[in-house]
Structure 1
Amino acid sequence: MAAPLSSWPWQNLGSLKYLLYGPFIAQVVRLWMHGERIQDSWCFHILWLSALRAFLHQLWTSYSNMHFLNLRRRILPQGVDFKQIDQEWDWDNFLILHAFVAAMACLLLPPSFFNVPVMNSKGFITALFLHVLVSEPLYYLFHRFLHSDFLFRHYHSLHHSSPVPQPFTAEHATLLEHLALIPIMSIPLFGSSLIGHGSIGLFYGYILAFDFMRCLGYCNIEVFPHQIFETFSFFRYLLYTPTYHTIHHTKKDSNFCLFMPIFDFLGNTLDINAWELQKKISSNPGKNVRVPDFVFLAHIVDFSAAMHPPFVFRSFASLPYSLRLFIVPAWPFTFIAMLMLWAWAKSFMVSMCELKGKLLHTWTVPRFGFQYFLPFATKGINKQIEQAILKADRLGVKVLSLAALNKNESLNGGGVLFVNKHPNLRVRVVHGNTLTAAVILNELPADVKEVFLTGATSKLGRAIALYLCRRKVQVMMLTLSTERFQKVQKEAPLECQKYLTQVTKYQTAKSCKTWIVGKWITPREQSWAPPGTHFHQFVVPPILHFRKDCTYGDLAAMRLPEDVQGLGACEYTMDRGVVHACHAGGVVHTLEGWTHHEVGAVDVDRIDIVWQAALKHGFKLVSWNQKS
């Protein structure tokens, strides 16, 4: 049985909890419709302040997850995983609680109490004194009390269950803890108002400053230069740092203060290594940063998908991508951000995780999908990919894998361009198509006798056709080029060439129920497939699900092994823990320690080798997981 006041009254409402703001919104709308000043309504200020506080937490969380800016100053190096994100999903419960407590105060206190000016400088000075002399020591004592055996087990352990501090972690606590924090936080505000120094600016300023400092402590990025605390040594007792507070989350028995370490000093709970660690991180940024063993070089699909990385909306990134209404208003800002990234013209890191002792990064090229099909953009895109490869080479990355459009045949020959241009690369460039082919082939029914293949002479199409014909499966290869067909056919063993057939029309496949789609097909072209057909595909973008009497496979993908750590973002439309097969292929290349480049044409003889290596390391077909 849960301890009293450990859960929130609206915890089962899900997103419907935001309807609790309804009375405040209704009151503001009523005033607006009657032509009254909504700025004079406490409902307006409660709503506006709640929105500002949520925005402040979001900004800090975005900054915390901008690994391309702050990786060198991270305190705890591991990534935030799905478990922590789910635990902190309702981090904003405290805002609803504070809104209702503020409403009760407005109803119970006399109206004269809130008849305050917009600004009163004396109020800020009074609030500062009350905060230092009353709120800080009260919080320190309360926090230490929470670490007593009973309260920690039943209440405060929830807050400490998050392994990596983030700004949202600051508010991830039980109802009891937030109820106790309200009076501690309110003393400077109400004390200043009672002596006549209150103001609207004080309410906004103090509350937002309080949240800002909380987010600062939980950001997991050391933002202060150590010189400040060496030049002004007393500052170390007046202002805590992110490193100082992170120590509390790792050791739990020290550094209990709210914002001022002097109370830990007075209470003999100060960790003496706090400033030494802070100096180490801030004076040698990046010195102890691990070089990734593997980098997956992705690209941006479109404007809305550009808002899917963790540094935009952490919760949104932790779910498979789909177009949501709440991101539509952000499109103009996304466009401006992308213009800035194009001007910067460098790949940047978006996520990281760890698998079997190997550090895996995902970088992205700041280009949208449609740009890859513009002839005049080819040179610029290849330059950005090349810069990313050379950067990985300088860092000491072992393997770099290219995402779908970054290895386009017409763009760079599946990575051949870069390997030929830089023959002395230490980083291995991998297109991952060998495992992609293996995934597609192993998703086919074991008893398949005939397949219809579009995109038949592409890198993947060629490999699939040659593999199947060796197993005496009849392959109808859709291509208008007899020369390209014959080139592929001649690669097959003489006794297997009869299993490869050139076709030029979709009508030819009207009795074949296994289609492998490597070139985008229209709904009209799909109509030639017989009922019950399954469309396997390796085409980007995926084909439309037009036929109700047929089934459609997703793009080739694999589920990562269960021991992956620090993974908290979905790869585009893939489920949690699922990555595109080319991504998985690069990871397998790293885990196996292979030293060859995997570029250009797929080596058909290696398809089974790569497949068995993937299974050995715990990778699974997504379809297997669905069946189980």
Structure 2
Amino acid sequence: MAALLATWPWETLGSFKYALYGPFLAKILYTRQEEDRSQAIWCFHILMLCVLRCFMYQSWSSFTNMLFLTRNRRILQQGVDFKQIDQEWDWDNFILLQAGLATLIYYMFPDLVNLPLWNTRGFIAVVLLHITTSEPLYYLTHKYFHGNYLFNNYHSLHHSSPVPQPFTAGHLTFLEHLIMACVIGIPILGACFLGFGSVMMIYTYVLMFDFLRSLGHCNIEIVPHQLFEIFPFLRYLLYTPTYHSLHHTEMSTNFCLFMPLFDLLGKTLNPKSWEMHKQFSINAGKNGRIPDFVFLAHVVDMTSALHAAFVFRSYGSMPFTTRLVILPFLPICFIVMLFMWAKSKTFLVSFYNIRGRLHQTWSVPRFGFQYFLPFAADGINKHIEEAILRADRLGVKVISLAALNKNEALNGGGTLFVNKHPNLRVRVVHGNTLTAAVILNEIPEDVTEVFLTGATSKLGRAIALYLSKKRVRVLMLTSSTERFLKIQREAPADYQKYLVQVTKYQAAQNCKTWIVGKWITPREQSFAPPGAHFHQFVVPPILRFRRDCTYGDLAAMRLPEDVEGLGSCEYTMDRGVVHACHAGGVVHSLEGWSHHEVGAIDVDRIDLVWNAALKHGLKPVSSVKQLV
């Protein structure tokens, strides 16, 4: 059983807790009587302050997770994983709590909150009251909560987040936030009781309080050490992210709210605080740890661009779906897209660790539709080439290309870059060998005939040749006899008879195993017999039109169980699941293979790559979906 006041009263409501803001909005919208107008104004300020506070924490979270800006300033290097994100999902409970307490204060002291817009003396009063009451109250209470009983039953929740984040600041129990409400409320109420209160004083103090809480938990050192060298006493008046991060790693030190002066007076100041801060500040401009593996991704469309972890962390931690709540942000995304098209370079999106090896995802600043604009090809290849050369300079061992970045028509599956730069130390990998292996291992062993679209593509060729050696008859849909014969001649003479050219979908009316490598319409799907299964390696996936057939997902694999720091989903994939081409690069890195994997797929390596993936703990992800 949870300790008293350890859980939130509205914990069972989930997202419906936001309905508790409804009375505030209703009061604003439906007030008509003169005597109720002051209540409406007070409700308006409460709601506005709640919105601004959420925006404050969200802005800090976005900045913290902009790894392309902050990667060299990180204090704790591990990533934020799904477990921490889920634990901190309801980080904003305290904002709702304090909104309710503010309303209670209004009804208790209606004359007290009839405030002017500005009062200069109020700012002075609130600062003095903060220093003399809030800081020592927080320090003593915080230190007390590190005692065995209170820590185990309450404060351990806050310290269960291994990597401090702005949202971690709100990750406390109900009891702790009641005390925090006193800490933030005493200076405001004190200034008002003294007759110095003002609307701007409340806004400024509350938002500055949230700003400094976010600063301490951001895990990014942005305070220059030179500031403390010029003004030494300032280090006791303002804490830094490094200072507060030490409290999360050495919990018997650095208990202060914002002012290390109270740790100095209480003899709990960590002696490493200033030296560590100086080191992180000095090293901020230097490259950090070099990744072993880089996956070079790209943006699919404007809605999926909002799925990045630095936009909305919680949204990025779930498989991508288009939601109505993100639609208002599309105009902003469109402007960013134009800026990226004109100026941006490849940027770091996320990272994770497998057995101590750092894996990073970089993204080319191009959206999916741009890959199909003829005039954009050279610019896209330039970005990909720059990313490969940058990885080579850094000492990255393997760089793997995402779907459109290795388009055959664009750069020959990466061949263009390997031929242009024959002395590359970094290995360029398209990962399609493992993609082929995943698709082939989904096909039941008793299948004797398959229908293959996209048959002369890179993947289609490899699948056809592999299956022919298994004595499976492959109906290859292609209108190009020349390309078909070229593939057929690659098969050993005894197996060439298993490769059959067909030019119409009607040829597959009796074939229940379809392998789709080229997008097919609902009408074309109608030629499949009832009970057919559609395997696919086509982007975007085909529409699930047939109710009497089943559909497979795109080829994917689940990363090993010992993956660390993974906190975002790869497009529509589930947590911990990546596209097979991404997984192919991971295997290439873990195996330490020294060859490039570009151009045509080596059919003889399909089983080798598959077995290597299983050996390293990657697992196939196969799901069969049927319309109901």
Shorter-chain TM-score category?
over 0.9
Distance 1:432 1:31 in 2: 62
Query: Is the 1:303–1:331 contact (alpha carbons within 8 Å) kept by the matching residues of 2?
Result: yes
Query: Is the 2:72–2:288 contact (alpha carbons within 8 Å) kept by the matching residues of 1?
Result: yes
TM-score (norm 1): 0.98
Matched residue, 1:21? 21
Distance 2:84 2:257 in 1: 23
Matches for 1:374-523 after TM superposition, within 5 Å? 374-523=373-522
Distance 1:287 1:252 in 2: 29
Matches for 1:33-432 after TM superposition, within 5 Å? 41-109=41-109, 111-285=110-284, 287=286, 289-432=288-431
Tell me which amino acid in the other structure corresponds to 1:167.
P
Query: Is the 1:32–1:38 contact (alpha carbons within 8 Å) kept by the matching residues of 2?
Result: no
Matched residue, 2:579? 580
Distance 2:254 2:624 in 1: 45
Change (3 A) 1:458 1:191: same
Query: Is the 2:541–2:554 contact (alpha carbons within 8 Å) kept by the matching residues of 1?
Result: yes
TM-score (norm 2): 0.98
Distance 2:54 2:39 in 1: 20
Cα displacement string for residues 296-334 of structure 1 (whole angstroms, at most 9, x for unaligned residues): 001111110000010000000000000011100000011
Q: Which runs of 4+ in 1 moved over 3 A?
A: 32-40
Cα displacement string for residues 258-293 of structure 1 (whole angstroms, at most 9, x for unaligned residues): 000010000000001011111111112254711010
Q: Is the partner of 1:304 in helix, strand or coil?
A: helix
Cα displacement string for residues 509-548 of structure 1 (whole angstroms, at most 9, x for unaligned residues): 0110100000111111111001111110001111111111
The runs of 5 or more residues in structure 2 that have no matched partner are none
Using the TM superposition, give the Cα deviation of residue 591 of structure 1 relative to its aligned residue in structure 2, in angstroms. Answer: 0.2
Using the TM superposition, give the Cα deviation of residue 36 of structure 1 relative to its aligned residue in structure 2, in angstroms. Answer: 8.9
Change (3 A) 1:271 1:357: same
Distance 2:291 2:32 in 1: 56
Query: Is the 1:349–1:362 contact (alpha carbons within 8 Å) kept by the matching residues of 2?
Result: yes
Query: Is the 2:553–2:624 contact (alpha carbons within 8 Å) kept by the matching residues of 1?
Result: no
Q: Is the partner of 1:234 in helix, strand or coil?
A: helix
The runs of 5 or more residues in structure 1 that have no matched partner are none
Q: Is the partner of 2:564 in helix, strand or coil?
A: coil
- Comparing 29-38 with 124-133, which one deviates more in the overlay? 29-38
Distance 2:105 2:571 in 1: 46
Tell me which amino acid in the other structure corresponds to 1:52.
L
- Comparing 503-512 with 35-44, which one deviates more in the overlay? 35-44
Distance 1:521 1:624 in 2: 20
Q: Is the partner of 1:429 in helix, strand or coil?
A: strand
Change (3 A) 1:303 1:34: farther
Distance 1:232 1:341 in 2: 40
Distance 1:391 1:422 in 2: 13
Change (3 A) 1:140 1:36: closer
Q: Is the partner of 1:285 in helix, strand or coil?
A: helix
Query: Is the 2:299–2:363 contact (alpha carbons within 8 Å) kept by the matching residues of 1?
Result: yes
Tell me which amino acid in the other structure corresponds to 1:440.
I
Cα displacement string for residues 338-390 of structure 1 (whole angstroms, at most 9, x for unaligned residues): 22222223111111000011100011111111111111111111111111111
Query: Is the 1:345–1:384 contact (alpha carbons within 8 Å) kept by the matching residues of 2?
Result: no
Distance 2:157 2:189 in 1: 30
Change (3 A) 1:253 1:375: same
Using the TM superposition, give the Cα deviation of residue 336 of structure 1 relative to its aligned residue in structure 2, in angstroms. Answer: 1.1
- Comparing 335-344 with 265-274, which one deviates more in the overlay? 335-344
Q: Is the partner of 2:190 in helix, strand or coil?
A: helix
Using the TM superposition, give the Cα deviation of residue 31 of structure 1 relative to its aligned residue in structure 2, in angstroms. Answer: 2.5
Change (3 A) 1:492 1:33: farther
Distance 1:268 1:198 in 2: 35
Q: May I ask how many residue pairs the two structures share in their alignment?
A: 625
Change (3 A) 1:34 1:190: closer
Tell me which amino acid in the other structure corresponds to 2:469.
R
Query: Is the 1:536–1:552 contact (alpha carbons within 8 Å) kept by the matching residues of 2?
Result: yes
Distance 1:287 1:24 in 2: 49
Query: Is the 1:71–1:286 contact (alpha carbons within 8 Å) kept by the matching residues of 2?
Result: no
Query: Is the 1:28–1:38 contact (alpha carbons within 8 Å) kept by the matching residues of 2?
Result: no
Cα displacement string for residues 440-493 of structure 1 (whole angstroms, at most 9, x for unaligned residues): 000111111100000001100000000000010000000000000000000000
Distance 2:34 2:342 in 1: 49
Tell me whether 1:8 sits opposite 2:8 in the alignment: yes
- Comparing 603-612 with 24-33, which one deviates more in the overlay? 24-33
Matched residue, 2:591? 592
Change (3 A) 1:446 1:207: same
Tell me which amino acid in the other structure corresponds to 1:603.
D
Distance 2:13 2:557 in 1: 34
